[in-house]
């Protein structure tokens, strides 16, 4: 029986070391999980900022195109409006081909 007790004492430090390593791994995993949550939060925050900037850029681009289109219609209306350039061109064509 003395031999069994001696073997138990020799194996005890290995068992305790195993428990210590498991505890260390659990603590490391908990720390890693916390850091991953921080990275996820940072990425989501950055993604939201990028989405906001992209939407602002798209809105600005669409407003610029809308303004250009509006100005184009103003030019067309001014040209074809009362006594506009189109009337002058038609009159000139009739004068040229009419003779």
Rounded Cα gap, residues 9 and 79, in angstroms? 105
Looking at per-residue confidence, does 61 or 13 come out higher?
A: 61
Q: What is the C-alpha to C-alpha distance for residues 18 and 1, in angstroms, rounded to an integer?
A: 26
pLDDT tens for each residue of 12-46 = 667 678 888 899 999 999 999 999 999 999 999 99
Q: What is the pLDDT of residue 45?
A: 94
Where residue 1 falls among pLDDT bands split at 50, 70, 90? very low
Give the residue with greater pLDDT, 29 vs 6. Answer: 29
Q: For residues 86 and 80, is the Cβ–Cβ distance under 8 A?
A: yes
Contacts of 84 (CB under 8 A, 6+ apart): 78
- Over residues 42-60, the mean pLDDT reads 92
pTM across the whole model: 0.46
Tell me: the pLDDT tens digits for 67-87? 777 777 777 777 666 566 777
């Amino acid at each position: 029986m003395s031999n069994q007790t001696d073997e138990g004492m020799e194996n005890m430090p290995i068992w305790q070391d195993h428990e210590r390593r498991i505890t260390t791994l659990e603590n490391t995993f908990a720390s890693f999980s916390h850091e991953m949550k921080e990275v996820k939060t940072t990425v989501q925050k950055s993604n939201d900022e990028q989405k906001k900037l992209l939407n602002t850029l798209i809105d600005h681009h669409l407003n610029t195109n809308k303004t250009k289109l509006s100005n184009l219609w103003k030019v067309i209306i001014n040209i074809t409006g009362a006594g506009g350039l189109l009337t002058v061109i038609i009159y000139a064509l009739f004068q040229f081909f009419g003779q």
